Amino acid sequence: MNVELTDLTRRFGPTQAVAGVSLQSGPGVFGLLGPNGAGKTSLLRMMATVLPPTSGRMRLLGRDPGDYGPRREIRRRLGYLPQNLGYYPGFTVADFVDYFALLKDMPPGRVPRAVAVAIERVGLADKARTKLRTLSGGMLRRVGIAQAIVNDPDLLLLDEPTAGLDPEQRMAFRALLREMGQRATVVVSTHLVEDVGAACTEVALMDRGKIVFRGTPDQLSARGEGSGAAGDAPLERGYSAVLMTARTAAARS
Amino acid sequence: MTGNPAGPGSGRGVAPRDVDLDRVWLGVAGEVWLRRPRRLERMAALLLRSPGLARALVATPSLLLAWVIATALVLTVGAAATLGTGTPYVALFAPAVAGAGIAYAYGPGIDPAWELGQSMAVGDRMVLLVRALAVFGLNAAFGLAASVASGVAAALAFGWLVPMTAVCMLALATSTLAHSANVGAAAGMASWVITVLAGKAATGSLTSVITDSAFILPYLAVALCCGALALYATRIPRGTS
């Protein structure tokens, strides 16, 4: 298992962002769905070793990120796209991807080719020498994806990766996800259920810090059948039905 | 994303089957797009034994050209004022300028890719330490040059280096604990202004805080405590499993 979370919690003062999440995942594309404030980003940031958990147990790529050595090894094999990608406006696309390849401790001799591969994979070859300040939001998102995959990670964590991408780019991105998921564990946090349906082998739905559903996209769709839940597509209806059930149960308890 | 299902680089011409154009193209692209590190970065990479850390160093916000020019300008004005009035303004400006530089070296809201940097194998604490040392070194060199240029400096040079260290460490500790460069810079500058004014009120001399050797031990104590606080704030959290 590349990801093993046991009863993981994270508090920010009085707010419990993640409330006892347990999760195991091997290679494949894992979708993390949920409304705003459900705890998806906090969970992803903990898995990215950016945010320490308040309590619980976490093993990533078979290692404990709480210790310096294993954490460094995890980070070498990790790809992370944060929700808000900060960038250096004066860097070119290639500079930016190159910078993070070096910070990931990749052997310098392997970096130029890895940078070229990553930039090609996100379809930005014609913009490789372009300064980031001149790129559109969708292109910047693709630059972010390029830096995340430059080290060919075993664990790829993507927070709202399709934000700002046009439909054609999104389809290509889903193909990239499926390809990456053949070998690595890819965790995609999104609120777009169509991305989950098209690319994910498994999905978890979070609400108020807890996982309230886990299964395949088809199983999520099935939850919506005959439920009368709102939504334009089977997955959306499944999403609404699960959320409705979870909130009703929470209100009763 | 590449829309070509055959993969990157395909469709760039017809070639015999035994020539992998993708591989050739990616090799060429990698070399063409490669950013050639400048001499300073290459030296830093050798010194730090990490090309990643060297690249992080040259991306320090308070080592960018505009910031360096501004620092040099402030200290040049200080040197001119010193020459004109006889008051060692360089020695009074330098700690505050360096404190602000340290606070703006690294952190959320200052380094654009700070969150991403935190997930990297090259640790953010190392990046912070290396950048802080570089900014301090540069400011100390500028301050010394300005002091020498102002003519009154030779005797005072080490008088202001010690308080500068204390102000820098205070700014570093505050910005790290508060997660805000603005708070760190404000704390560093405010503490220095208060110290100078308090020194003047106590002794009648604006420069007593840099000339009186009785202040050296308190400065060093502040620097040590603040350094310990900064190290504590950037510690690697343990016990997550």
Q: CA nearest B142: which of B85, B94, B82?
A: B94
Q: Where in chain A is the domain with CATH 3.40.50.300?
A: 1-77+154-215
pLDDT band at A253 (very low <50, low <70, confident <90, very high): confident
Residues of B near A (Cβ–Cβ under 8 Å) read 1-3, 5, 8-9, 26-27, 29-31, 33-35, 50-52, 55-56, 59, 111-123, 236-241
Name the amino acid, one letter, at A13. G
Quote the pTM value.
Answer: 0.84
Express each pLDDT in B181-197 by its tens digit. 899 999 999 999 999 99
Tell me the domain boundaries of chain B: 39-233
Q: Where are the beta strands (DSSP E) in B152-191?
A: none
pLDDT at site A79: 96
Which range among A32-36, A88-92, A245-249, B147-151 shows the weakest confidence by mean pLDDT?
B147-151
Below-50 pLDDT ranges, chain B? 3-11, 239-241
Mutation target among B20, B120, B179 for the A interface, most CBs of A within 10 A: B120
Nearest CB to A172; choose among B3, B31, B238:
B3
ipTM: 0.87
For domain A1-77+154-215, the CATH class is: alpha beta
Summarised one tens digit per residue, pLDDT across range B209-233 is 888 888 889 999 999 999 999 888 8
Residue in B1, B112, B121 nearest the CB of A103: B121
Are residues B1 and A123, on separate chains, in Cβ contact within 8 Å?
yes
Nearest to B73 by CA among B95, B90, B59, B57: B90
8 Å CB contact between A141 and A166: no
Cβ–Cβ gap A172/B112 under 8 Å: no
Chain B residues within an 8 Å CB radius of A53: 240
Q: What per-residue confidence (pLDDT) applies to B16? A: 56
Picking from A56-60, A78-82, A170-174, which range would have the lowest pLDDT averaged per residue? A170-174
CB A112 within 8 A of CB B26: no
**CA A39 distance to own-chain centroid:** 13
Asked if the C-beta of A121 comes within 8 angstroms of chain B's C-beta atoms, the answer is yes
